[in-house]
Chain A
Amino acid sequence: MGKSYLSIENVGVTFGGRLAGSEVLRGIDLQVNQGEFVSIIGHSGCGKSTLLNVVAGLLPVTVGAVILDKEAVEAPGPERAVVFQNHSLLPWLSVYENVRLAVDQVFRGKKSRAERHQWTLHNLDLVQMVHAKDKRPAEISGGMKQRVGIARALAMEPKVLLLDEPFGALDALTRATLQDSVMEIHAKLGNTVLMITHDVDEAVLLSDRIVMMTNGPAATIGQVQGVELPRPRRRLEVDTHPTYIGARHAVVEFLHNRRLRAAA
């Protein structure tokens, strides 16, 4: 315990007071190694987003602790950058300014003005959004907004990248393109990633491990499925691979059984 890079230890979250409140999460234990891509999947309302917010520091734990690189998480910070579900770009700033705000905030005093400019462009280039750098969020598509959200998070050079259903609101084609981009970036930078999703294929394609959550209240980790597919993974090649099919089946079966139990 506590040896891995990101360690979630016996985390429980109860809203509205420990005694009378509603218990959302109970006894969550999860170890994530450096450079690992871990997905968290579960039915809506099972507390996936709550868990991510706890790791981000946006929500306090009721019991337990989150430890990242030997330091306890107590407040939000740029070393745990979040890509929010609804992009959360500031609409009054251009694409460039949205990323630059994060760069200025994180690297003020560490990089010169010119370096910060270069770093902003570099991160926009990683998500192929340099061409729209002067546009405002309202002028670009949902997929592009999410790309900028990813660029903003990457620009903080986070120790762990937290993705909160980043592609949930996108159409299937855009989602596939963005998944490929995320895989490329992960291969290039080797980030540690924790991703919330409700899409089984997305989880299997992107992850090293898939964490399946039981239904709330008092949700916890039900099962963990490793995906031992070699990288780089190509969408068209892996989806017939026995490992892919096996992992996919395990996740679908888990979710299906949970759904039956919830309905009963």
Chain B
Amino acid sequence: MAMPAANQDTAAPVSLVPTGDVVALRPRARAAERARVAARQVAATVLPPLVGIGLLLALWELFAANHPAGLPAPSMIWMESREIILHPFFDRGGVDKGLFWHVFTSLKRVAIGFSAAALVGIALGVLVGASKVAHRALDPIFQVLRTVPPLAWLPISLAALHQANPSALFVIFITAIWPIIINTAVGVRNVPQDYRNVGRVLRLSPIAFFFKILLPAATPYIFTGLRIGVGMSWLAIVASEMLLGGVGIGFFIWDQYNSSRISDIVVALLWVGLVGYALDRLVALLGRIVSRGASAG
């Protein structure tokens, strides 16, 4: 609907000028039109979320203003927590650090626990997916253990490891590993018979078959597992840090709750949400790069 109108806008002035200038003017007119189309596209993708956020903030402001004792309004949060919003990088030693450092510490824990979960999870998943015996032996154990909530693992790991930091890492590991195992196993089991036949006709050795056919064919499934796993491990770290103390975004939230600084908690939650979102996108992007269209056929 809007396109013909834009065409008329650009065409009308051009037709008025002498023919000698038309050639020189055309490309510029076309570029202007292209810029207008691009601007409209950007507006169409950027405006709706902005409007959504604006509406949410307005409603929140309205409700919070009527209940001064409850959740602070956005304007209140800005006044009370401007310090930690604007200065995420300060470091006064101990746990008195900017939000960036808390998040960074938590992310380091996630990186270690999640990497371990990815390595062990993919290995176990391939084993369970490829071998019927291993599947029968291990699957019941997996099915029961994977339903255990992350925080229920914490007392056990504390009892076994005696220290806070390794326990937090273990909780991340054990939370993230189940979706990785299960999805990898499904991927390995679902390698199309056609690809297996190609491997058989070529007489690929078991090792060559594993690396050239099985692993690439299962890659999209593996990354589905990794994506679910990284989200769950981020949930687990925030929860387990609340109980463990020290530096970390989870403990920061707990600490602010104990000193009744609800505004700071809201700001921290925003960080947690944004970082979780970024982690999810990152793994999804990695998956797309690594699987190189393996799911398309």
Given A84-B194, A90-B216, residue A136 in contact with residue B201 (CB < 8 A): no
Contact B198 A91 (CB under 8 A): no
Residues of B within 8 A of A82 (CB): 197, 201
CB-nearest residue of chain A relative to B200? A76
A92 to B287, CA, bound (A): 13
Contact A91 B201 (CB under 8 A): no
A249 to B7, CA, bound (A): 62
Is B293 located at the chain interface by the 8 A CB criterion?
yes
CB-nearest residue of chain B relative to A138? B296
Task: Report which of B201, B216, B294, B297 forms a contact with A77, defined as CB distance below 8 A.
Answer: B201
CB-nearest residue of chain A relative to B213? A90
Is A170 located at the chain interface by the 8 A CB criterion?
no
Contact B293 A138 (CB under 8 A): yes
B191 to chain A, nearest CB (A): 11
Residues of B within 8 A of A106 (CB): 202
Task: Report which of B200, B203, B212 forms a contact with A58, defined as CB distance below 8 A.
Answer: B200
Is B292 located at the chain interface by the 8 A CB criterion?
yes
Contact B293 A88 (CB under 8 A): no
CB-nearest residue of chain B relative to A162? B201
Contact B202 A88 (CB under 8 A): no
Is A257 located at the chain interface by the 8 A CB criterion?
no
Is A101 located at the chain interface by the 8 A CB criterion?
yes
- CB interface residues, B 263-297, toward A, < 8 Å: 291-297
Residues of A within 8 A of B133 (CB): none
A59 to chain B, nearest CB (A): 10
- CB interface residues, A 33-87, toward B, < 8 Å: 56-58, 75-78, 80-82, 84, 86
Given A101-B212, A105-B203, residue A92 in contact with residue B198 (CB < 8 A): no
Task: Report which of A57, A88, A92 forms a contact with B216, defined as CB distance below 8 A.
Answer: A92
Best-buried of B200, B201, B204, B212 by chain A (most CB within 10 Å): B201
Given A78-B203, A101-B202, A105-B204, residue A91 in contact with residue B197 (CB < 8 A): no
CB-nearest residue of chain A relative to B219? A92
Contact B201 A80 (CB under 8 A): yes
Is B142 located at the chain interface by the 8 A CB criterion?
no
A76 to B201, CA, bound (A): 5
Contact A88 B198 (CB under 8 A): yes
Is A137 located at the chain interface by the 8 A CB criterion?
yes
Give 1 or 0 for each of B187-216: 1 = CB within 8 Å of chain A CB.
000000011011011111000100011001
A77 to B194, CA, bound (A): 15
Is A102 located at the chain interface by the 8 A CB criterion?
yes
B131 to chain A, nearest CB (A): 21
Contact A137 B212 (CB under 8 A): no
Interface size of A as a range: 20 to 34
A106 to B202, CA, bound (A): 7
B216 to chain A, nearest CB (A): 4
Contact A76 B197 (CB under 8 A): yes
Residues of B within 8 A of A156 (CB): 202
Contact A77 B198 (CB under 8 A): no
Contact B203 A76 (CB under 8 A): yes
Contact B202 A102 (CB under 8 A): yes
Residues of B within 8 A of A78 (CB): 201-203
Residues of B within 8 A of A136 (CB): 292-293, 296
CB-nearest residue of chain B relative to A86? B194
Residues of A within 8 A of B213 (CB): 90
Residues of B within 8 A of A57 (CB): 200
Give 1 or 0 for each of A178-220: 1 = CB within 8 Å of chain B CB.
0000000000000000000000000000000000000000000
A87 to chain B, nearest CB (A): 8
Given A84-B194, A86-B194, A101-B212, residue A92 in contact with residue B294 (CB < 8 A): yes
Residues of B within 8 A of A84 (CB): 194, 197-198
CB-nearest residue of chain B relative to A153? B201
Given A88-B195, A90-B213, residue A56 in contact with residue B294 (CB < 8 A): no
A234 to chain B, nearest CB (A): 33
Residues of B within 8 A of A92 (CB): 216-217, 219, 291-294
Residues of A within 8 A of B197 (CB): 58, 76, 82, 84, 88
A88 to B295, CA, bound (A): 13
CB-nearest residue of chain B relative to A85? B194
Best-buried of A76, A88, A92, A105 by chain B (most CB within 10 Å): A92
Residues of A within 8 A of B292 (CB): 92, 136
Residues of B within 8 A of A102 (CB): 202
Residues of A within 8 A of B208 (CB): 105
Best-buried of B197, B202, B293 by chain A (most CB within 10 Å): B202
User: B residues within 8 Å of A by Cβ?
Assistant: 194-195, 197-198, 200-204, 208, 212-213, 216-217, 219, 291-297
A sample of 28 inter-chain contacts (CB < 8 A) reads A57-B200, A58-B200, A58-B201, A75-B203, A76-B197, A76-B203, A78-B201, A82-B201, A84-B198, A86-B194, A88-B197, A88-B198, A90-B195, A90-B212, A90-B216, A91-B293, A91-B295, A92-B216, A92-B217, A92-B219, A92-B291, A92-B292, A105-B204, A105-B208, A136-B292, A136-B293, A138-B293, A156-B202
Apart from A82-B197, A105-B203, A136-B292, what 5 extra A-B contacts exist at CB < 8 Å? A84-B194, A84-B197, A90-B213, A90-B216, A91-B293
